[in-house]
A and B are shown apart, each in its own frame.
Chain A
Amino acid sequence: MKRYDLIIVGAGPSGLSAAVEAAKRGMEVVVFDENEKPGGQLFKQIHKFFGSKEHRAKVRGFNIGKQLLEEAAEAGVKVVLNATVIGLYQDKEVVVKIGEEIHHYKGDSVIIATGAAENMVTFPGWTLPGVIGAGAAQTMMNLHGVKPGKKVLMLGSGNVGLVVSFQLMQCGCEVVALVDAATRVGGYGVHAAKVARTGVPFYLSHTIVEAEGDECVTGVTIAEVDSSFKFIPGTEKHFDVDTICLAVGLSPMSQLLKMAGAKMEDNPKRGGQVPICDEYGRTSLPGVFVAGDVSGIEEASSAMIEGRMAGIVAAEYLGYTDEDDMNRNVESLEKALDGLRQGMFAPENRGKLVEKTEEGIDVSMNLLKKGYVADDEIERYPGVTHKVGIHPVMECTQNIPCNPCQDACPKKCISIGDNITSLPIVVPESECINCGMCVASCSGQAIFLVDEDCGDGTATVTLPYEFLPLPKEGAKGIALGRNGKKVCDAEVVNVRSAKAFDKTNLLTMRVPKEYAMKARFFRATV
């Protein structure tokens, strides 16, 4: 039986991060992953991540994946793919299916980084072909280049449901509705807003009555539910769709830990059955550590930090590094992790209705119920100001841990300050040079450059645009409001693409000046 200093199960964001830190400290590390490719779910994430520079904010997920793979290769990490770990025993024996054979390995330490599995929800017709998990949609469109469907209904308004809805539209699918039985949008408001402004209707307090079709999905009926999740008769709505996408949460894939005899608990805040562990990922079994979603559902950004911690702690456990190195490094990682766990969506706020921002401003109830901030609500946020000439309008209305915009502006027009969750403010007396860096840097696509009065009765609005075909200068169409409904006619006056924008195109449209603060999306007339 081959022995390793450290065996890691799962080559996703946390497993690879752990491997890098452990290998750097001289450990002989092997990472087993059942998939054909490493990177876990990172390569399906095509949006820009939130956070700050240390969390690689404003970098798209798949590019973070590439960086992580390079880092792992440099550190000399051995990643074995198509290697399914089928068993873990208490003495840290790992049983792996590789090809058509069963291999046994002994790890002097083991890190379980198996991630999470999607939750499911039942309704008549839920087994029909065409009902798929949100992860399946991402896999098909972002890895294999195949559209999951033509017309899709999304169930679930958490970040996965919102992000995948946007991605479905980016690859050319139509999203007919976003549905959630909850009374409020579960994910980040900015993710919801960028979906809503394209015209996707949100149905909160609704769920699926039935998926229709004999051989595959041909339609779906939804209806409103009351406070005890019972359908309200007469509220049914029908949609012709060929695909129903389920994004109803994730559960930790912790079975290996249970098998090995680790102390487990059922913790709804962490998403289900999780090992009992300390903040560095030490489980009840000496030498067995955890990192990432397997110990509690969070984001890829936090999984990577947890992975690094677990890698360092495992190295210390076997004496590859001393306590000083461990404490020093883990402390700074903890700070980075704390940074991500701040704000309205922090773990302790899960499921709670936060009614005021940290600044004491009322949270938009429209955003929570319909996916967009209403025109009469938007003015109360500090990023929304008025001045002569082009200026940034930051429709960032919830406290989330994210600050790339303040570094993006070369003229220092935007400030968040030291508290990463503060809402961005426009720095008084600063001068916008219309470079567009803030628009492209905002992972939430919530920044617009507006010239409210061009002097000829018109205004211009520059918005982030990540769809194809990219409208050309001179294209005529309509401007949509935050709610996705037509507000006025519009003409494209400029389209900018630059390497620094990282695939976020900047589309500038001209609208009558009374719509300067209402028009937020452009749709070309065909």
Chain B
Amino acid sequence: MNSVNDRNRDIGPFVPAPDDDMLICRCEEITKGEIRKAVHDGMWTLTEIRRYLRTGMGLCQGQTCSKLVKSIVARELNVSPAELEPATSRVPMRPIEMRIFANEAKEDDDYE
């Protein structure tokens, strides 16, 4: 197990910072402070953070903030961002209405 997932590691207490109110996830309006706190609440992976705070779960699906969130979490855990596994990629890759998502085309090649 690499150190990123070693939950026995002491990352110290949450220390408030002057820029904690900086908005990071533009869609869900999540701040840097909330993300940092979440790490100290035990959310050490990007997938956990995403479920816990909804960062990257809004309309844009993390297109804008995922790299920013990753670097904040990495700094809080005192690891390099490259060591953090990115959050899962899954269908649909782009915002899409449920009615369209459920609307399977009948013909195979009818887009022309």
Contact = CB atoms under 8 A, between A and B. Distances in A.
Interface of A: 1-2, 34, 80, 83-87, 95, 97-104, 117, 119-120, 122-124, 126-127, 251, 255-256, 258-259, 264, 266-268, 272-273
A126 B22 CA distance: 9
A186 B88 CA distance: 32
6 contacts: A34-B94, A86-B94, A102-B103, A120-B64, A255-B93, A259-B93
B104 A102 contact: yes
B63 interface: yes
B105 A103 contact: yes
Contacts of B26: 127
Given A98-B111, A102-B100, A85 B105 contact: no
A264 B24 CA distance: 25
A102 B91 CA distance: 12
Contacts of A117: 63
B89 to A, nearest CB: 4
Interface of B: 22-24, 26, 32, 63-65, 67-68, 81-83, 86, 89-94, 96, 99-105, 108-109, 111
Contacts of B90: 87, 259
Q: Which 6 A-B pairs have the closest CB atoms?
A: A87-B91, A86-B92, A266-B82, A101-B105, A255-B89, A2-B108
A86 B89 contact: no
Contacts of A84: 93-94, 96
A122 B21 CA distance: 11
Contacts of B103: 100-102
A411 B73 CA distance: 60
Nearest to A89: B91
Given A83-B111, A103-B108, A97 B91 contact: no
B23 A122 contact: yes
B104 to A, nearest CB: 5
B57 to A, nearest CB: 14
B97 to A, nearest CB: 8
A272 B91 contact: no
A258 B89 CA distance: 6
Contact of A266 (B32, B65, B68, B81): B81
Given A102-B100, A266-B81, A256 B24 contact: no
Nearest to A9: B93
Nearest to A256: B93
B84 to A, nearest CB: 8
Nearest to B109: A2
A1 B105 CA distance: 10
A259 B90 CA distance: 6
Nearest to B93: A86
B56 to A, nearest CB: 11
Contacts of B96: 84, 86, 97
Given A2-B108, A83-B111, A103-B108, A122 B24 contact: yes
Contact of A95 (B23, B24, B63, B91): B91
Given A80-B111, A259-B91, 19 more contacts: A84-B94, A86-B92, A87-B90, A97-B96, A97-B100, A100-B99, A101-B103, A102-B102, A102-B105, A104-B104, A119-B67, A120-B64, A120-B68, A122-B22, A122-B23, A251-B67, A255-B89, A259-B93, A266-B83
A109 to B, nearest CB: 19
A99 B89 CA distance: 23
B105 A98 contact: yes
A123 B68 CA distance: 12
Contacts of B83: 266
A256 B89 contact: yes
Contacts of B68: 120, 122
A268 B81 CA distance: 10
B81 to A, nearest CB: 7
Contacts of A101: 100, 103-105
Nearest to A1: B108
Contacts of B102: 102
Nearest to B112: A80
A171 to B, nearest CB: 25
B22 A124 contact: yes
B92 A97 contact: yes
B90 to A, nearest CB: 6
Contacts of A100: 99-100, 103
A110 to B, nearest CB: 14
A97 B89 contact: no
Contacts of B91: 86-87, 95, 259
Contacts of A264: 86
A97 B82 contact: no
Nearest to A114: B93
Contacts of A120: 64-65, 67-68
B100 A272 contact: no
A87 B67 contact: no
B37 to A, nearest CB: 17
Contacts of B67: 119-120, 251, 272
A97 B23 contact: no
Nearest to A122: B22
Contacts of A266: 81-83, 86
Contacts of A102: 100-105
Nearest to A96: B111
Contacts of B32: 122
A268 B94 CA distance: 25
Contacts of A34: 94
A65 B91 CA distance: 31
B111 A99 contact: yes
Nearest to B94: A84
